[in-house]
């Protein structure tokens, strides 16, 4: 049946995502710097600066992986605040925890293995939720957005940092060539894994564009939604509030 087919396709995607991140975990940070020429640091910095997070607040860094955002939030919220790094993948969580411990980021950070589609937190709990390069990998995005909405406090905000659709054609073509032909080669050379980086290119192409994601956030209940294109729309930061 149609339903049966969908179920298989969904669990296949989740298995694939699990394989990809178990495989790339050890080389994840190095590959990020190589593939984006270090620009991911700028995108993440901008996300932090747009977060409005203050001392004493509670932040969820969802699909937090190796914890780049968690490390920055940990400093922002201070001793009286709390940052939860949640990720579905045990290998990524392990890398994240080791890295942050080595950086001396401890005390106000906790680590939770969780699926974004069914967050194990109380209602109205977080002041801010970020999901950075994570939503693309989630199978049921509507379910995940609804789950984020539930655990966000009234007045809280969601920030989605994700690959999006380049805003003009020549850039779009160059970017396609880069992601489908060059990325897998870098993946093969550095991480001995071309396949995972082929998945990356495909998942970027399949991901909803700026307006579609904004509409999905509205459907989940978020208000005052907006987005900001970076690097010509290769990446966009979406923001929405729960009132």
Give the whole-angstrom CA distance, residue 236 versus residue 34: 20
* Residue (20 or 217) nearer to ligand SAM, CB: 20
Please check whether residue 230 is in contact with residue 237, taking contact to mean a CB–CB distance below 8 angstroms.
Answer: yes
Least distance between ligand SAM and beta carbon 188 (Å) = 18
Stretch 18-57 residues interacting with ligand SAM (CB under 6 A): 21
Binds ligand SAM (CB under 6 A): choice among 17, 204, 235, 236: 17
Picking from 219, 220, 198, 208, the residue whose alpha carbon sits closest to that of residue 20 is: 198
Q: Is 37 left (phi over 0), alpha (psi -120 to 50) or beta?
A: left
The interface mask with ligand SAM, positions 127-166, x = CB under 6 A, is -----xxx--xx----------------------------
Cα–Cα distance for residue pair 68/198, rounded to 1 Å: 24
Of residues 58-97, those binding ligand SAM (CB under 6 A):
63-66, 68, 87-89, 92
For ligand SAM, the closer of residues 10 and 55 by Cβ is: 10
d(CA 68, CA 57): 18
From the CB of 92, what's the least distance to ligand SAM, in Å?
4
């Amino acid at each position: 049946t149609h339903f049966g087919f969908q179920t298989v396709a969904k669990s296949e995607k989740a298995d694939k995502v699990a394989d990809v991140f178990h495989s790339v975990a050890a080389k994840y940070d190095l590959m990020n710097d190589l593939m984006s020429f270090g620009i991911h640091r700028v995108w993440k910095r901008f996300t932090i600066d747009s977060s409005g997070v203050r001392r004493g607040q509670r932040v969820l860094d969802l699909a937090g992986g190796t914890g780049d955002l968690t490390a920055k939030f940990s400093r922002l919220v201070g001793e009286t605040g709390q940052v939860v790094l949640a990720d579905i993948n045990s290998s990524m969580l392990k890398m994240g925890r080791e890295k942050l411990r080595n950086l001396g980021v401890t005390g106000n950070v906790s680590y939770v293995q969780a699926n974004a589609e069914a967050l194990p937190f109380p209602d109205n709990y977080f002041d801010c939720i970020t999901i950075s390069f994570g939503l693309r990998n989630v199978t049921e995005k509507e379910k995940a957005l609804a789950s984020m909405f539930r655990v966000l406090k009234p007045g809280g905000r969601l920030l989605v940092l994700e690959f999006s659709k380049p805003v003009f054609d020549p850039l779009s073509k160059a970017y396609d060539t880069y992601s489908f032909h060059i990325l897998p080669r870098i993946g093969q050379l550095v991480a001995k894994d071309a396949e995972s980086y082929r998945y990356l290119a495909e998942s970027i192409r399949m991901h909803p564009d700026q307006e579609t994601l904004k509409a999905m956030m509205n459907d989940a209940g978020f208000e005052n939604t907006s987005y900001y294109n970076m690097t010509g729309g290769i990446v966009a930061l979406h923001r929405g509030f729960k009132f």
